């Protein structure tokens, strides 16, 4: 391995000063076309690439966004990560990915790590810590789907409306007894509003309902089947299920199949998110679409604005949409 060329090597090769090379690199000051070309030629000859670590140190800006998710293995967060990274990249940002596994210790460690690495901001899509921990963070943070404090903007979609659309759709399709499988309601997630809407509508319409909460670790897929089987065995007269994710809905399809319930004849199922497999499985899942692309884009924009110390709105709620497919 040859030594990695530095700006000095480029300067020497091009026969100019380091300052001049830096000027070319950063487009500042007066530079003649001839010199510019010489410098670029030297950079190419040496296969020179400026050391961003050195630049970051000086600029106190790394152009890195930290993204903390429960796990990218879950399709929802996989898609979120994909959109977010793509948009971030187009804005000159890189993304450091962190899978907290919804483990508070890991999440805290990741936050510290991101800080030490001078990320410009953090998008938090995992929320296992106390609100206080986030508040004292003293660096641009955007929260995904959770209200933390008025000083920390959040991006979400209209969960109440989503819950409402889901339940109204089930009822419109003739359901007479419905259940909602959601994450733990002990955590004050904005997603809980789906459940509020669920109850409100059911009560409004005088429809019997039940609720099943998952463990705190919402993304442990194995748990879904057990919970759902238990639910359906105890309430065989259920004819409508509202699930907090499409993955849960896929699990529900499986469990119903095992119990000999036909979808949508005997029981109707509606998921949430509209991740890409939702329309690929059979039957295709009726679901509430969250505008993930826009949410990701907005998250990056908010980080950018926070970095620039611009004022940003705390609440950023995007609309959801009912997507009718084969399970209802």
Partner DNA sequence: CAGTATATGTCAACCGGTTGTCATCTGACC
Partner DNA sequence: GGTCAGATGACAACCGGTTGACATATACTG
Q: Facing residues of 289 across strands? A: 273, 321
Size of the site for its own copies (CB under 8 A): 55
Q: Interface with DNA includes 117 (CB under 7 A)?
A: no
What's the CA gap between 8 and 21, in Å, rounded?
A: 9
- 178-197: which residues touch its own copies (CB under 8 A)? none
34 binds, among DNA, its own copies, none (CB under 5 to 8 A by kind): DNA
Q: Interface with DNA includes 50 (CB under 7 A)?
A: yes
Output the CA–CA distances (angstroms, integers) from residue 197 to 152, 160, 162, 191, 202, in the order listed.
25, 5, 8, 10, 8
DSSP letter string over 200-232?
A: HHHHHTT--EEEEE--S-TT-HHHHHHHHHHHH
> Which residue, among 242, 131, 271, has the nearest Cα to 188 in the 3D structure?
131
Q: Interface with its own copies includes 26 (CB under 8 A)?
A: no
- Interaction mask 130-159, its own copies, x per CB under 8 A: ------x-x---------------------
Q: Facing residues of 241 across strands? A: 179, 269
Q: Which of 27, 32, 53, 150 binds its own copies (CB under 8 A)?
A: 53
Q: Interface with its own copies includes 118 (CB under 8 A)?
A: yes
Q: Interface with its own copies includes 122 (CB under 8 A)?
A: no
DSSP letter string over 91-156?
A: TT-EEEEEE-TT-HHHHHHHHHHHHHTT-SEEEE----S-HHHHHTT-S-EEEES----TTS-EEE
Q: Return the DSSP state at 295.
A: H
- 92-111: which residues touch its own copies (CB under 8 A)? 94-99, 101
Measured from the CB atom, the residue of 48 and 77 that comes closer to DNA is: 48
23 binds, among its own copies, DNA, none (CB under 5 to 8 A by kind): DNA
Rounded to a whole number of angstroms, the minimum distance from the CB of residue 97 to DNA is 24
> Which residue, among 250, 241, 289, has the nearest Cα to 269 in the 3D structure?
241
Q: Which of 23, 38, 74, 289 binds its own copies (CB under 8 A)?
A: 74
What's the CA gap between 272 and 163, in Å, rounded?
A: 9
* Contact predicate 264/173, CB 8 Å: yes
Q: Interface with DNA includes 135 (CB under 7 A)?
A: no
19 binds, among DNA, its own copies, none (CB under 5 to 8 A by kind): DNA
Q: Interface with its own copies includes 308 (CB under 8 A)?
A: no
Kindly provide the b/e burial profile for residues 1-14, where b requires at least 16 CB atoms within 10 angstroms of the residue's own CB.
Answer: eeeebbbebbbbbb
* Contact stretch for DNA (CB under 7 A) within 18-26, 145-153, 250-258, 285-293: 18-26
* Contact predicate 53/108, CB 8 Å: no
- Report the interface residues with its own copies, using CB under 8 A: 1-2, 47, 49-54, 56-57, 62, 64, 71-75, 77-79, 81-83, 85-86, 89, 94-99, 101, 112-113, 115-118, 136, 138, 221, 247, 250-251, 253-254, 257, 276-277, 280-282, 284
- Report the interface residues with DNA, using CB under 7 A: 4, 6-8, 15-23, 25-26, 28-36, 48, 50-51, 54-55, 57-60
């Amino acid at each position: 391995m040859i030594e990695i060329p530095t700006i000095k090597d480029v300067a020497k090769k091009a026969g100019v000063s380091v300052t001049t090379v830096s000027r070319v690199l950063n487009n500042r000051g007066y530079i003649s076309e001839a010199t510019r070309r010489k410098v670029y030629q030297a950079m190419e000859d040496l296969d020179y690439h400026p050391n961003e670590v050195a630049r970051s140190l000086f600029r106190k800006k790394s152009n890195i966004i930290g993204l903390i998710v429960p796990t990218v293995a879950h399709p929802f967060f996989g898609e979120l990560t994909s959109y977010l990274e793509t948009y971030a990249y187009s804005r000159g940002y890189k993304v450091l990915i962190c899978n907290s596994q919804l483990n508070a210790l890991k999440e805290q460690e990741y936050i510290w790590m991101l800080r030490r690495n001078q990320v410009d901001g953090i998008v938090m899509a995992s929320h296992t810590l106390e609100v206080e921990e986030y508040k004292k963070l003293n660096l641009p943070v955007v929260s995904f789907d959770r209200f933390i404090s008025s000083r920390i903007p959040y991006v979400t979609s209209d969960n109440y409306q989503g819950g409402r659309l889901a339940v109204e759709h089930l009822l419109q399709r003739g359901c007479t007894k419905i259940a909602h499988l959601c994450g733990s309601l002990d955590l004050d997630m904005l997603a809980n509003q789906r459940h509020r809407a669920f109850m409100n509508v059911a009560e409004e319409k005088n429809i019997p309902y039940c609720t099943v909460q998952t463990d705190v670790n919402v993304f442990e897929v194995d748990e879904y089947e057990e919970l759902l089987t238990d639910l359906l065995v105890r309430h065989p007269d259920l004819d409508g299920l509202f699930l907090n994710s499409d993955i849960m809905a896929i699990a529900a399809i499986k469990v119903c199949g095992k119990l000999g319930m036909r979808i949508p004849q005997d029981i109707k199922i509606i998921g949430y998110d509209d991740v890409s497999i939702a329309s690929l499985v059979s039957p295709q899942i009726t679901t509430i679409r969250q505008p993930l692309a826009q949410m990701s884009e907005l998250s990056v924009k908010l980080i950018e604005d926070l970095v620039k110390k611009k004022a940003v709105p705390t609440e950023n709620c995007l609309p959801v949409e009912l997507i009718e497919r084969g399970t209802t």
